[in-house]
């Protein structure tokens, strides 16, 4: 693990780091905030959305002050592999910056786009080995595409993630343009393979978490066509999965929305990671 940069922040340390990823075959960056004290500390992962890097959450969400108070390590991975020789697409919702937190199976994406394995099988080990982290107490959250990632990673790994929340998540990529485009190109035409990367489908197919917290702005321009939180409401109701969906009047989709409610999410996770 190489250190890219560190800075003192609310008594703790905000750092950016890099590893040579065996999962993606590329260098991968990630950001970690370590609160003041000796630890070990519980860990909260935050997965960012389309076009973002590890810096978006770190620099825009304003989460460090509350994480320092609560004694939470914050981990923000990048959203995709990057660099020369890595497949890309001119559209903002495919390729570099748009990894969708899955392992691609189709050319040209399969060679490097293995974000699920990078996070779940690789980066969790890196965090546990290099930071004062209690890996038995992990939660996960995310925004937009990252909300999709948080929900699907938690549903597929309930033994690793004890709490899960999301901001304006893509809850049913099988049923919306962003997801249909990305899953079709990354995974191929067999829609049965898509279901493992769709929160609504995972719940329908028997995956469970203890509870969910979701915030959604009612002025979000992507609400009707891309996000469709009502599908998650229906799936959770049918499966008896406790869901708290908080509608936030007048809020849109970006980080002004996230920073307005990030404290609520951090405190919610901290209460469940004791």
pLDDT (tens place) for every residue of the chain, 274 residues total: 999 999 999 999 999 999 999 999 999 999 999 999 999 999 999 999 999 999 999 999 999 999 999 999 999 999 999 999 999 999 999 999 999 999 999 999 999 999 999 999 999 999 999 999 999 999 999 999 999 999 999 999 999 999 999 999 999 999 999 999 999 999 999 999 999 999 999 999 999 999 999 999 999 999 999 999 999 999 999 999 999 999 999 999 999 999 999 999 999 999 999 9
**Helix/strand/coil (H/E/C) assignment for every residue in 115-151:** HHHHHHHHHHHHHHHHCCEEEEEEEEEEECHHHHHHH
pLDDT score recorded for residue 155: 98
Domain 2-273 adopts which CATH fold?
A: Rossmann fold (3.40.50)
Residue 96 DSSP symbol: T
Q: Please calculate the CA angle 189-192-194 and round it to the nearest 5 degrees.
A: 75
Question: Quick one: which of 67, 56, 241 has its CA closest to 167?
Answer: 56
Reported for 128-135, long-range contacts at CB under 8 A and 24+ positions apart, including other chains, are 130/1, 130/17, 131/32, 131/34, 131/39, 131/73, 132/34, 132/38, 132/39, 132/40, 132/41, 132/73, 133/39, 133/40, 133/41, 133/42, 133/43, 133/73, 134/39, 134/40, 134/41, 134/42, 134/43, 135/43
The alpha helices in the chain, defined as continuous H runs, are 54-60, 64-70, 115-117, 124-130, 145-156, 177-187, 191-194, 199-204, 229-239, 255-272
pTM (global) more than 0.85? yes
pLDDT score recorded for residue 35: 98
The alpha helices in 195-254, defined as continuous H runs, are 199-204, 229-239
pLDDT score recorded for residue 180: 98
CA distance 92 to 51: 6
Token match 């690793």: residue?
Answer: 160
R_g of the chain, CA atoms, integer Å: 17
pLDDT score recorded for residue 133: 98
pLDDT score recorded for residue 168: 98
pLDDT score recorded for residue 119: 98
pLDDT score recorded for residue 40: 98
Q: Which residues have a Cβ under 8 Å from the Cβ of 45 and sit 6 or more positions away? A: 75, 76, 77, 119, 138, 139, 140, 141, 142, 150, 161
CA distance 220 to 208: 27
Residues designated as active site: 144, 220, 253
CA distance 257 to 59: 14
């Amino acid at each position: 693990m190489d250190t890219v940069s560190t800075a003192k922040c609310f008594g703790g340390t905000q750092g950016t780091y890099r590893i040579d990823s065996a999962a993606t075959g590329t260098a991968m960056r990630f950001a970690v905030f370590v609160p003041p004290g000796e630890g070990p500390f519980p860990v909260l992962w935050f997965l960012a959305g389309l076009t973002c890097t590890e810096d978006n959450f770190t620099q825009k969400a304003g989460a460090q002050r509350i994480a320092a108070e609560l004694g939470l390590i914050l981990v923000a991975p990048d959203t995709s592999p990057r660099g020369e020789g890595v497949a890309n697409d001119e559209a903002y919702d495919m390729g570099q910056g748009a990894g969708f937190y899955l392992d691609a199976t189709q050319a040209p994406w399969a060679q490097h786009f293995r974000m699920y394995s990078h996070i779940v099988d690789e980066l969790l080990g890196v965090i546990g080995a290099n930071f004062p982290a209690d890996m038995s107490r992990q939660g996960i959250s995310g925004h937009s595409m990252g909300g999709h990632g948080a929900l699907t990673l938690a549903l597929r790994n309930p033994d690793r993630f004890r709490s899960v929340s999301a901001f304006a998540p893509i809850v049913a990529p099988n049923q919306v343009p962003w997801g249909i485009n990305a899953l079709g190109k990354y995974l191929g035409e067999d829609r049965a393979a898509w279901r493992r990367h769709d929160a609504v489908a995972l719940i329908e197919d028997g995956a469970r978490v203890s509870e969910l917290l979701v915030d959604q702005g009612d002025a979000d321009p992507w609400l009707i066509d891309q996000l469709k939180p009502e599908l998650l409401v229906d799936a959770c109701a049918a499966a008896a999965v406790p869901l708290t969906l908080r509608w936030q009047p007048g809020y849109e989709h970006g980080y002004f929305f996230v920073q307005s409610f990030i404290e609520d999410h951090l405190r919610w996770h901290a209460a469940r990671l004791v």
